[in-house]
Amino acid sequence: MSAIQNHEPTVNILGRLEVQGRVLGIGQVCHNWLVLRDRCDVGPCAARLVVTVKGVDRVQDIFLPHGISRDSEVIQFY
């Protein structure tokens, strides 16, 4: 008799964008765009992208060439 067990890895991944003194939650991030959970209006500027995987922060300095708009779902960066 064999028992089949479903073992799905559990990894806690958190993301945030630090921009102009604000901390905004990230819903999704790719290599040059992201989707914010929190929306606001910010002009083009530098920012910090912080992704936490298993308790370890990975920080990347980025630039938002088009800034952030409340009306935009996808935010581009480089």
- CA-CA-CA-CA dihedral for 13, 45, 30, 50, to nearest 10: -20
Exposed e or buried b for every residue in 32-57, given b needs 16+ CB within 10 A?
A: eebebeeeeebeeeebebbbeeeeee
Structure confidence by residue, pLDDT tens digits, 53-77: 989 999 999 999 999 999 998 999 9
pLDDT at 4 over 80: no
Contact 64, 75 (CB under 8 A): yes
pLDDT tens, position by position, 16-50: 999 999 999 999 999 899 999 988 999 999 999 99
